[in-house]
Amino acid sequence: MTEIKNTEQQLSRFRLRVAAAGLFVFVCFGLIGLRFLYLQVWHFSKYSLQANENRISVAPIVPNRGIITDRNGVVLAKNYSAYTLEITPSKINGTLDEVIDQLTQVIPIDTRDRRRFKKLLEDSKNFESLPIRTRLTDDEVAKFTAQRFRFPGVEVRARLFRQYPLGTMAAHVIGYIGRISQRDQERIDDTSDTNDQNSNHYDPRLDANNYKGTDYVGKIGVEQSYETELHGLTGFEEVEVTAGGRPVRTMSRTQATLGNNLQLSLDIGLQQVAEQAFSGKHGALVAIEPSSGDILAFVSSPSFDPNSFVDGIDQQTWEALNNSPDHPLLNRPLHGTYPPGSTYKPFMALAALMLHKRTPGWVFQDPGFYTFGGHTFRNDVRSGQGWVDMNRAIVVSNDTYFYMLAHDLGVNAMANFMKPWGFGQITGIDIAGEARGILPSTEWKRKAYRKPEQQRWYEGETISLGIGQGYNSFTILQLAHATATLANNGVVMKPHLVRDIENPITKETRAVVRDPSDKINVRQQDIDFVKRAMEGVVTNGTAAKIFAGAPYQAAGKTGTAQVYSLQGSNYKGHALAEHLRDHALFIAFAPAEKPTIALALIVENGGWGAEAAAPIARKVLDYYLVDRMKPPRSPPHPRRKTPACR
């Protein structure tokens, strides 16, 4: 009996254990089922998307950047494809220097390549792919491909590069592209944040996603200011990949949209003549078509080669450019400010006529100086220039006449008259970095200085303003703009460097500027009088020798601006250090009756305007009005197959 009881107890316990184990297994499978239900049903969309992302790689397709040409279709900026050897620092094994040393045994990497790479590394994020060598040959690509397994984090990529075929010519206008810096990325993100997708003004070109995969943006010049036009729209490609990341097939593809082409207003032939005329000199020149505001030439001398920046400039070359005493990176017409000297006198004469402070026939006997408040302001001809009226004052550039006129006008009346002509004002040209300059007035001085004694305007300070000295400080762009407005009889055209924007697919173009910006209230007879006086300057005045025999009638005005005060002593340029010599200036327009070109230029520390600046103006006008019309023997520059000009 005892054995039967023990057996029954053991069976009962066994059944209980089996039931408990079965229940435990049932609960576990139930939990697994609930988990499957949770993952497969409630969170199906989430995990399905993640699975697809693991299986499908979305790669951006960077668009081709737009081409830049001059007004005649001459190519100024274009693209070419090449292979680059790139390193992603976060993915390499070992130190960066060790990896580069090992790469050098496969592909030549010189010291300049290393310096450029280290500068790129300083300006970039550690996880970015950076080029150590560009423009690899087919043999170099083959050599690295065979050894690629040795270099994790290093790869060869095919990329589009920017090229500026004419090198230093018009470099400050065209600008250059460079790798996107952290500051550039922040600016792109800020612009994207203000570009509301739900608004009617949403522009996909301004979206930060449009720059995915893009490594380069415009840094200066029209490359920068027309970045959104030139960049185009980024495309995307969905590619199915294996677990190891190897592409299997392309699932979908959205093509990139080409960037728009830019046709500049520049005449590159005129630009070349002007730059050659400045050879060895420091200075600036701006030539404008008065009737349209088209900038025909925009010279900053000396210049630089923008191609040096495309691959990433090395530290040594950058320091040589940035620290050069010649300041080749300075955009002189746009950012440099100078006293206008005697080129200001035609505008002073126009102010006198308009404000009824002088008549054309008012005349005086010039003693060679003007005294005010115990200070003597001297004329260039110390013995005086005899009887002088307004016409003669402009033709022979008489200082005494304009000393007296400045005193009679007063600083505020001069400022109010000069402002609509663009002096000391932002012209609104379509590249960034324009300086405002200084158009002096009592209000300006109160804002410019802190101490009460400095804020006060003294009458003696007004006198030198009449000859373009004193506090007067303007850009050559402003001076050229004012000259073009004078040539255009007071009709103000906004100066611009981009003439038309072309759709590369449809070839449709849209104009940048065509309508007048303003019309200055000035009497035609007063403008005509000043123009005739400026004709006299090149016929029998200070520039007559330079323009002798010209087959066209020009109108102009020479100018010489002091760099430092003579303190009453005589000017002897040959005895001064070059950086202390006077600046030489010249303004002109031609043909005088119906001007098609107006210009302003400065030769820094060049001395007399008639000797240093006027000859450059003569070469520029000769080319544009005479030589340009002659049929060329052969095309001097490469042209596009389909010119953008009309």
Catalytic center residues = 342
Query: 35 is written with which tokens?
Result: 């988990």
| Nearest residue to 125 via CA among 211, 215, 187 | 215
Secondary structure string (H, E, C) spanning 266-287: CCHHHHHHHHHHCCCCCEEEEE
H or E, element range at 116: helix 111-123
| Nearest residue to 170 via CA among 497, 515, 536, 552 | 497
Instruction: Give the amino acid at 336.
Output: G
| Nearest residue to 621 via CA among 585, 584, 591, 594 | 591
| Nearest residue to 580 via CA among 603, 568, 562 | 562
Q: Alpha helix (H) ranges present in 517-637?
A: 524-540, 614-625
- Exposed (0-12), middle (13-18) or buried (19+): which is 424, by Cβ within 10 Å? buried
* Coil, strand or helix at 323: coil
- Exposed (0-12), middle (13-18) or buried (19+): which is 82, by Cβ within 10 Å? middle
H or E, element range at 17: helix 2-37
To the nearest 10°, report the CA torsion of 351, 357, 361, 362. -130
Residue 444 CB coordination number (10 Å): 17
| Nearest residue to 399 via CA among 424, 416, 423, 382 | 382
* Euclidean distance between CA atoms 639 and 49, whole angstroms: 50
Instruction: Give the amino acid at 127.
Output: F
Using the 8-state DSSP alphabet, how is residue 122 labeled? Answer: H
Q: Are 343 and 474 in contact (CB under 8 A)?
A: no
* Coil, strand or helix at 170: coil
* Euclidean distance between CA atoms 645 and 263, whole angstroms: 7
H or E, element range at 178: strand 176-179
* Euclidean distance between CA atoms 476 and 460, whole angstroms: 27
* Euclidean distance between CA atoms 522 and 254, whole angstroms: 57
Q: Cis ω on the peptide bond leading into residue 504 (within 30° of 0)?
A: no
What is the separation of C-alpha 477 from the centre of its chain, rounded to a whole number of angstroms?
14
Query: 360 is written with which tokens?
Result: 């054309």
The label of the residue with tokens 């939990």 reads 31
* C-alpha separations of 441 from 6, 413, 445 in Å: 120, 9, 6
* C-alpha separations of 628 from 107, 166, 516, 525, 552 in Å: 49, 19, 27, 33, 14
Residues in the chain: 646
